[in-house]
Amino acid sequence: MATITRENIGLLHEKLTVSLSTQDYQTDVDAGIKDYAKKYTLPGFRKGMVPKAVLVKKLGAKYFADILLKKANAELSNFLTKSETKFLYTPVSLYSIKDIEDIDITSSTDISFPYEVGLMPDVDVDLLNIPVTKFEVEITDEMVTKEITRLRNEYGVETEPDHVVNDSCMINASFVEVTETGEVVEGGVNQSIAVLVNHFTPAFSATLVGKKIDETVFVPMSTAFSDLDRKAILNRLMVDTNEESNLSKHFQMTILKVNYIESAPLDVAFFEKVYTDKSVNTEAELREKLKAEISQYYNQESNRQILDQVYHYLVDELNVDLPEHFLVKVFQYMLHDRKNSGLNEHDTFKTFLAQVKWNVIVTRLGDKEQIKVTQEDMLNAARAQVYQFLGNQVSMFPPETLDEYAIKMVQDKKFTSDAAHGVRVSKLLSTIASRLTPTKVEQISAEAFAKQLHHHHF
C-alpha cells in the first residue's frame, strides 16, 4: 500500500515523499505487458508467448516510467484532496525523469517519489477595525449647471455645420493612439466616439473652435482633459484606466462630424422630457432634483472607493508569511512555461509574491466569511460588461436583449473562469466594508475625489 510521509524543511515548506510498494504498481505493469504481448509478434514464438524480458525491453523505460509517475501523482493528488491542510500551487517534483527510467521494473522493489509543497498561511486581521475614510463630495452649483447644459443639448435642436462653432458643439472624431512625437502606435487604440467640446479643458477647447471637418488635432490626454473627464473619455475609448500610465496617452484626433445643438429652452416641455413622471415644473425644482441625483452618484462612488481602501490595507499593511523558498521554484517553473502559467513579460518575483499574498488573503478571508459566487452574481457581472461595452448606445437595446447577451456570456466557460475570481473579491470586500465605521469623514471637491480614483481597483 502506498504511503506518504511529511517532513518540514522550512517556513510553511514541506517535503512529501510518496512511496510505492511493488503491489501498488505491479498490477498496472503486468496489465501493460500482457496487453502488448497480444499485439507483438516475434519469429520463433507463438503470439502471446514472447518472453517477458523481451517485451519489457521492447516497451522501453519511458513506458514504465509513465505508469509509475501516474500512480505516484494519483496518490499525491488523493492525499492533497483529502488533507485538511491547504497547500499553495502544484507540488514541485524533486526527481528527474531519468531517475525513474533507470528503475529496473522487473526487480520487485519499493520506489519513492519526493516532492516539495508550500503550505497556505493563516491570515490574522481584525476586520472590524480597518481604518477607512469616507469622502463626501461637495456638489456645487457649477456641477448642477453643467448637467443642465448637457440635458438641454441632449434635448435641443441639432444642426451639422462644417466647423466647430463654439464649445457647446458635439464632435464625432476618430482617436488614433500616437507617441509623444506624433507617430502612430502599432496595435494601439483606434476608436471613434462623440465628445462635447466643453469636456476638454477651457484652454484646449478654445483651440478647437473654428476647426473644420477632416482636420486633425494632437491630443495629449494629460492636458487636454481635466482629471474628472479624462477617465470617462478613456473608458469610452476602451482604455484600462486602472493602469496609471494610460492616463497620459497621446492621440491624433480627426474631426469626422460636427453637431451644433441649439439648447432646449428651460420650459415645461423640456422638464417633462427629462422627467416623464412630471415631477419637475420649474428650474429650481430641476436643480434640486439633479443635485440630489449627483449627490447619490458620488455617495455610491465614495462607497466603492472604500472597497479600494480595504483592498490596499489588506495588501499593503497586512503581514502574511509566505514559503518564499518554495515559491522561488514555482516561479522559475512558470517562467519556463509563460504561455500556460499566466505570467507576462513584466512579471517579476516581487510582483508574483504580491499576487500570491493577495490570493492567500482572498482564499482565507473568503472561506471565513463564507463568500459564495452564485449564478446571479455571474449574470450581474456579465450585464456590467455588456453595459460598459455598449456605453451611450445601451439605451438603444431593450432590457431583454441585454439580458440575452449576458446569459450567453455566462454560458462561455472562459468568461466564467476569468470573471469568477473578480466577483468573489468584490463580494468579499463589500462584505468587509459593510461592517466598517469610517474612522474619518472628509469633505472633498469632485476634482480632488477624481484623483483618489487614479489607483482605484474596484
- Asked if residue 388 belongs to a domain, the reply is yes
Per-residue confidence (pLDDT) for residue 41, from 0 to 100: 73
Confidence check: pLDDT of 341 > 60: no
Q: What is the rounded CA–CA span in Å between residue 146 and residue 143?
A: 5
Residues 304 and 249 in one domain: no
Q: Is the dihedral of CA 329, 331, 335, 340 positive or negative?
A: positive
- In sequence order, the β-bridge partners of residue 196 are 170
Query: Do 55 and 113 reside in the same domain of the chain?
Result: yes
pLDDT tens readout for residues 4-25: 999 999 999 999 999 999 888 8
Count CB atoms within 10 A of the CB of residue 6: 13
CATH of the domain at 195: 3.10.50.40
Number of domains composing the chain: 3
At 458, the pLDDT band (50, 70, 90 cuts) reads low
Instruction: Using DSSP bridges, classify how beta strands 440-444 and 133-137 pair: parallel, antiparallel or unpaired.
Output: parallel
248 and 383 inside one domain = no
Does a structural domain hold residue 152? Answer: no
pLDDT at 451 over 90: no
* Mean pLDDT for the stretch of residues 103-128: 88
In this structure, is residue 220 part of a structural domain? Answer: yes
Pinpoint the alpha helices (H) of 164-282. Answer: 202-208, 221-224, 227-236, 268-274
What is the rounded CA–CA span in Å between residue 228 and residue 199? 10
Q: Say how far apart CA 231 and CA 453 lie, in whole Å.
A: 9
Q: Which residue has the higher pLDDT, 62 or 201?
A: 201
Examine the domain organization and report whether 202 and 328 are in the same domain. Answer: no
64, 90, 119 — which closes off a domain?
A: 119
Beta-sheet strands, E only, within 11-94: 13-20, 87-93
Q: Are 342 and 378 part of one and the same domain?
A: yes
Residue 272 domain-assigned (yes or no): no
Asked whether residue 33 is domain-assigned, the answer is yes
Phi-psi region of 84 (alpha: psi -120 to 50; beta: other; left: phi over 0): alpha
**Does some domain include residue 257?**
yes
Domain presence at residue 278: no
Whether 233 and 300 share a structural domain? no
pLDDT in tens, 275-299: 999 999 999 999 999 999 999 999 9
Grid cell for residue 398: 431593450
Residue 350 DSSP label: H
pLDDT above 90 for 100: no
Average pLDDT across the chain, whole number? 89
Specify whether 105 is located in the same domain as 249: no
| Site of grid cell 464625432 | 172
Q: Answer whether 0.95 is exceeded by the pTM.
A: no
pLDDT at residue 61 in the model: 78
Q: Can you tell me the distance from the alpha carbon of 155 to that of 269, in angstroms, rounded to the nearest whole number?
A: 10
- pLDDT confidence of residue 97: 76
Say whether both 328 and 443 belong to one domain: yes
What is the mean predicted confidence (pLDDT) over 393-414?
Answer: 88
Segment 380-400 shows an average pLDDT of 85
**CATH number of the CATH domain containing 429:** 1.10.3120
- Judge if 426 and 295 occupy the same domain: yes
pLDDT-derived band of residue 147, with 50, 70 and 90 as boundaries? very high
CATH of the domain at 58: 3.30.70.1050
**Tens of pLDDT, residues 294-331:** 999 999 999 999 999 999 999 999 999 999 999 999 99
Residue 216 CA to residue 182 CA, distance in Å, equals: 11
- Neighbouring CB atoms inside 10 A of 135's CB total 22
316 shares its domain with 448: yes
Mean predicted confidence (pLDDT) in 43-69: 76
7 and 48 share one domain: yes
Asked if 299 and 448 sit in the same domain, the reply is yes
Residue 344 lies inside a defined structural domain of this protein: yes
Domain boundary among 198, 228, 262: 262
Structural domain including 107 reads 3-119
Taking CB atoms within 8 Å and a gap of at least 24, the contacts of 71-76 are 71/2, 71/20, 71/24, 71/25, 71/28, 72/2, 72/18, 72/20, 72/111, 72/113, 75/2, 75/4, 75/18, 75/20, 75/24, 76/4, 76/16, 76/18, 76/113, 76/115
